[in-house]
Amino acid sequence: MVSKPPVDDVGDEGLVVGPPKEYAAGLPAVAWSLRHAGRQMGVKRSLLTLVQVNQKQGFDCPGCAWPEPDHRSVAEFCENGAKAVAEEATVRRVGADFFAAHPVAELADKSDYWLGQQGRLTEPMYLAEGASHYAPISWEDAFGVIAEELAALDSPDAAAFYTSGRTSNEAAFVYQLFVRAFGTNNLPDCSNMCHESSGSALTQTLGVGKGSVSLEDLYRSDLIFVVGQNPGTNHPRMLSALEKAKQAGASIVAVNPLPEAGLLRFKNPQKVSGVLGSGTQLTDEFAQIRVNGDLALFRALNRLLLEAEDAAPGTVLDRDFIDEYAHGFEEFAADVRTTPWADVLEATGLSREQIERIHRRVLGSRRIVVCWAMGLTQHKNSVPTIREVVNFLLLRGNVGRPGAGVCPVRGHSNVQGDRTMGIYEKPAPAFLDALEREFGFAPPRAHGHDVVDTIRAMRDESVKVFVAVGGNFVSATPDTAATEAALRATRLTVQVSTKLNRSHAVTGRRALILPTLGRTERDQFVTVEDSMSAVHMSRGKLPPASPKLRSEVAIVCGLAERVLGDRVSVPWRDLARDYDLIRDRIERVIPGFTDFNRRVREPGGFVLPHGPRDARRFPTTTGKANFSRNELAVLRVPEGRLILQTVRSHDQYNTTIYGLDDRYRGIKQGRRVVFVNPVDLTALGLADGALVDLVSEWHDGSERRAEAFRVVSYDTAAGCCAAYFPETNVLVPLDSTADESNTPTSKSIVVRLEPHRR
């Protein structure tokens, strides 16, 4: 399978490669956020909008799930938050005239960048069977089309209902309620491609699939690991928290194949010293690890801890914690003691001296937090890798006490809340029981399809209707060619969206676009949950982009009423009219939401209970925190191949491309670049700046090709390379997923680089 650049791609004529930056934020970030916002919204609207981001009475920044501190500054947003807001609050519009001028076949040739630039969707649009263009349709007729296709299915399981993580708690709750009342658990979501591996590993080991720390814990810790994460671009406000922790005495170890700007040095744009001065040196120890070397690193650290305990018994491990709260220590310890150093050094690409230096830092630190993101979750062995991180923390009792714990840093601003609300293809029986008690229907019990299984099911034509509330399924998922073919095989695709993207252009036999309000726009307030389990309100204030838009809640409730009729007794209209009524139902179904409507109106909201964090209560199968044994398999690639990891540039939000620059990595005006270590370039006989195809090899003998990437000589770990997604998603085989979590292996794809033939 071959992927060519889209026809509107600027190519690389304008590409400029400069030196990467050594720090993040500072004055340029302030200037960039205003420049970008001004271009989309105009200056006055930009200022009025941006002052409301993340304020207690304002809207939750759609940028990421990093929590808001208690003491907020006036500008509690970052450069990339400002871009996310501007992208939604843009004054550009896509209406019926746009669709009349552009046939779907033409849109399918465009990039997500071009599509996103066109502006906000303004009215429901329908692509009839065999039609070349989308045409306007009324909301009622649109719901009628969906109801008709759903009624024609042999089984409710022949439909799948995707969610992306911007959906509010209220919309997510009514959505899963509708889907289960319709009769299926086919609720794939972006989590399946994101932190699913964290959820799996943490549920097995600690009993709760969420992070166990608060901002306060970060400030109180002695040592913070930032593993497989690029906060300077993806969670810029995290840098302020790291700076604060540093100033309180913490040290920071960064583990990453790339020397990411934000990890090294940070100039806080919200302080005069940060704007003008040289900033804070954040990282004390940078471990430039080989892609997928993390399991080996943490195994080695665990082995060193056991050996240190042998040398000075009673001084290293937290025996009280292990004896009282943990399970499986002896088996784990016996296994980890055998960890071969040769494998550790090969897998990590680090020196033994550096690992021992990190170990000494660990020994000197009473309170440790490990933060991580996609660098750990998108590999074949991600679940065992994260379990090994948990082993590391358990050894010294670093869970369930101040200043210590696990910190998986979530992506989408409400992805964690959506899961809490029941957006999950494998719901717990207790959740279904509660739903049944509250609503009086029997929800389906069989597990549904996740993202990868949904693609397989559409390919095999066992799923025939695909509905998405948010996101960009076509571009976010792996194996683009296979995914596109799968979607085209369906009878109906429905996208509830704010903006145009490729998922509107690659459709089933019939298709609908249902335009919705975004976070910034006036509606009843909604609620969200951040990465640290804090639930709070979000209230938009801008006038809606068009009078024909409906809120996600209203769309879901309207659809549910039309599809289900009186098959269930849920007062859909009342719920849509008054979101307090939805919150009352959430309170009765989901633990932790007692007095929801009152508590969420308090400034800052409230924090959900978390057994391990609050009381060292571990709701696992053993009732204790579980140590685990995790096999160390070195990822070896054939001669002449590299391990490709796919990352975000500084100018994108997942599949939404804001611009063509990646300022921190020194790239301007181009996205089809591949970052390769100079030593590998020499070994491969390639010149810096050469034009290559990326060819991935899969063990069934199939090959996938992404054409025309410019080689950029770059300081990445040897044997590894990096390029941006979604352009590289074509290279990830559908069947290449993480064990247990089924997450696509977007961070470890074996590729060869071939000279591009024009």
- Which spans of this chain sit near ligand MGD (rule: CB under 6 A)? 63-64, 80, 164-166, 190, 193-194, 227-230, 233-235, 255-258, 260, 289, 291-292, 294, 373-375, 378, 411-412, 469-473, 476, 496-499, 501, 516, 518-519, 552, 645-648, 652-656, 725, 728-729, 732, 746-747
CB of 574 to Mo ion, least distance (A): 34
Closest approach of Cβ 463 to ligand MGD, in Å?
17
**Least distance in Å: CB of 51 to Mo ion?**
27
416 binds, among Mo ion, ligand MGD, none (CB under 5 to 8 A by kind): none
Secondary structure of residue 428 in the 3-state scheme: coil
**Helix 329-336 vs helix 294-311: angle between axes, to the nearest 10 degrees?**
100
The CB-of-411 to Mo ion minimum distance in angstroms stands at: 3
Nearer to ligand MGD, 626 or 746 (CB): 746
Spatial distance between the Cα atoms of 634 and 632, rounded to a whole number of angstroms: 6
Helices (H), 191-293: 196-205, 215-220, 231-234, 236-247, 261-264, 272-276
Residue 645 binds what, of ligand MGD, Mo ion, none (CB under 5 to 8 Å, by partner type)? ligand MGD
The residue among 551 and 742 lying less far from Mo ion, judged by its C-beta, is 742
Distances (CA, A) of 66 to 191, 236, 498, 608: 16, 9, 22, 16
Shortest separation between residue 653's beta carbon and Mo ion, angstroms: 10
* Shortest Å, Cβ 470 to Mo ion: 12
Which CB sits closer to ligand MGD, 502 or 624? 502
Tokens, residue 636: 């070896």
Pairing status of strand 280-281 against strand 125-127: unpaired
Give me the least distance between CB of 234 and Mo ion, in Å please. 9
- Closest CB to ligand MGD among 375 and 448? 375
Residues near Mo ion (CB under 5 A): 194, 411
In this structure, what token pair is assigned to residue 17? 């490669």
- Of residues 333 and 575, the one with the C-beta less far from ligand MGD: 575
Question: From ligand MGD, Mo ion, none, which one binds at residue 499 (CB under 5 to 8 Å depending on kind)?
Answer: ligand MGD
Q: Which is nearer to ligand MGD, 40 or 233 (CB)?
A: 233
> For residues 695 and 416, what is the distance between their CA atoms, to the nearest angstrom?
35
Residue 322 in contact with residue 394, Cβ under 8 Å?
yes
Q: How many CB atoms lie within 10 A of CB 306?
A: 18
The smaller minimum CB distance to Mo ion, of residues 67 and 411, is found at: 411
Smaller CB separation from ligand MGD, 539 or 747: 747
- Residue whose Cβ sits closest to ligand MGD: 411
Per partner kind, with CB cut-offs from 5 to 8 A, the member of Mo ion, ligand MGD, none near residue 625 is none
Assigned token pair, 483: 């995914």
CB of residue 725 vs ligand MGD: minimum separation in angstroms?
3
Q: Is 708 helix (H, G, I), strand (E, B) or coil?
A: strand
Phi, psi of 716 (to 5 degrees): -110, 165
Q: Which is nearer to ligand MGD, 193 or 432 (CB)?
A: 193
CB 432 within 8 A of CB 355: no
Please give the torsion angle defined by the CA atoms of residues 515, 516, 521 and 523, in that order, rounded to the nearest 10 degrees.
Answer: 140
- Cβ contact 408:65 at 8 Å: no
Name the minimum Å distance from CB 168 to Mo ion.
17
Which of these, 408, 385, 198, lies nearest to 296 by C-alpha position? Answer: 385
The residue among 234, 207, 372 whose CA lies nearest residue 295 is 372
Q: Residue 267 in contact with residue 277, Cβ under 8 Å?
A: yes
The CB-of-663 to ligand MGD minimum distance in angstroms stands at 12
Closer CB to ligand MGD, 165 or 422, in the complex = 165
**SS3 (DSSP) at 697:** strand
How many other C-beta atoms lie within 10 A of the C-beta of residue 102?
18
**Contacted entry of Mo ion, ligand MGD, none for residue 405, CB cut-off 5 to 8 Å set by kind:** none
Spatial strand order of the sheet with 280-281 comes to: 24-25, 265-267, 280-281
CA triplet 184, 189, 190: central angle to 5 degrees? 170
H helix or E strand, kind and range, residue 724: strand 720-724
